[in-house]
Amino acid sequence: MSQHGIHHVTAIAGPASRNVGFYTRTLGLRLVKRTVNFDDPGTWHLYYGDEAGAPGTILTFFPWEHAAPGRLGVGETQETVFRVPEGAIGYWTHRFLEKGVAFDPIDKRFGETVLAFRDPDGMRLALVAVPGAEAEPGWSAGEVPAEHAIRGFHSVSLLLEEAAPTGAVLTDVLGFAQGATEGSVTRFQVPGTAMGGIVDIRAVGGFLKPRPGAGTVHHVAFRAADDAEEAAMAQKLRENHRIATTEQKDRNYFRSIYFREPGHVLFEIATDQPGFAVDEAPAALGQALKLPDFLEGHRSRIEGHLPSLGEPA
């Protein structure tokens, strides 16, 4: 059976070495792939995830050394939320204090305990305590012990003018079902999917427009099992929602189509196949610069231009 939900989230960051330090050391994620933006090979494309880089755990960045800070606005991803085991919130609060990470007071949303924080570029992130997550494997080769480690995505929240048109795409095309509403937030959830199975829509009416830049999400990608399912989703978007997608683009680790959802957020549909082990062994993920075939001939040129990553954990 096909799994739905979030495949990955891609954001814009400032300096690459700072980005690597925060996500591998402070948050303890695995750098599962170091490659370049295929459309701008002078820019890193860094993928963080669980041990295998499984769909639903992957946060990726385009780090721009001189990026100006972005600004949240309507038509933008507001927050990217990770799952941690139920008893881990205390550990993380302590860790954020120790590491000087900006965080908000602990909050309750939809009955769950939430610790919202910011990355060094001001990107809005949060941890949600999820019962049962402690039984799932956590990446433990970093500084964070496995018992407290992040277990993939919980959700993303979208700041939109209204919930219904985007909700229709989530439910009709992307495998979600509409859930409860709390205040201005309506929850959409993929039945039976733990990892990355939630999108919260915060409907705020007219508000500032977003300004892309460091700390803002570039796009949210949703899962399709394979090319056929992706094509069927594109057809539904066209026929039921009058939304055209791009042609399919080969991203080496998945094959993608892109579209603007009705609330203006850039959505992607990405295939689960072939995954990150396609060009390096699972044990060696993220250790070497990987380039697609069409850029391999330019390797030395590209390596000469990419900023240093420092030493990932």
Q: Which residues inside 181-240 make contact with other proteins, applying CB under 8 A? A: none
Are 119 and 168 contacting, i.e. CB atoms less than 8 angstroms apart? no
The correct pick among 19, 35, 43, 157 for binding other proteins (CB under 8 A) is 43
Q: How near is the Cβ of 70 to other proteins at its closest, in Å?
A: 12
Could you tell me the smallest distance in angstroms from the CB atom of residue 22 to other proteins? 20
Nearest approach in angstroms of CB 238 to other proteins is 23
Q: How near is the Cβ of 37 to other proteins at its closest, in Å?
A: 8
CB-side exposure of 311: number of CA atoms within 13 Å? 2
Among 2, 40, 184, 244, indicate the residue that binds other proteins (CB under 8 A): 40
**Binding string, 158-177, against other proteins, x = CB under 8 A?**
--------------------
Q: Interhelix angle for 164-172 vs 227-241, to 10°?
A: 140
Choice from 39, 98, 247, 293 touching other proteins (CB under 8 A): 39
Q: Name beta bridge partners: 129.
A: 84
Nearest residue to 251 (alpha-carbon basis) of 229, 268, 238 = 268
Contact 150, 29 (CB under 8 A): yes
Tokens 């990217």 map to which residue?
80
x/- map, 18-37, other proteins, by CB under 8 A = -------------------x
Q: Which of residues 267-306 bind other proteins (CB under 8 A)?
A: 294-295, 297-298, 301-302, 305
The beta strand positions in the chain, using DSSP E, are: 6-13, 30-37, 40-49, 58-63, 76-85, 107-109, 112-118, 124-130, 153-160, 177-182, 185-189, 198-203, 217-224, 249-250, 255-260, 266-271
Length of the chain: 313
120 cis-preceded (ω within 30 degrees of 0):
no
The residues in 48-107 that bind other proteins, with binding defined as CB under 8 A, are: 64-66, 68
Least CB distance from residue 65 to other proteins, whole Å? 8
Report, in Å, the least distance between residue 251 CB and other proteins.
15
> What are the residues binding other proteins (CB under 8 A)?
37, 39-43, 64-66, 68, 294-295, 297-298, 301-302, 305
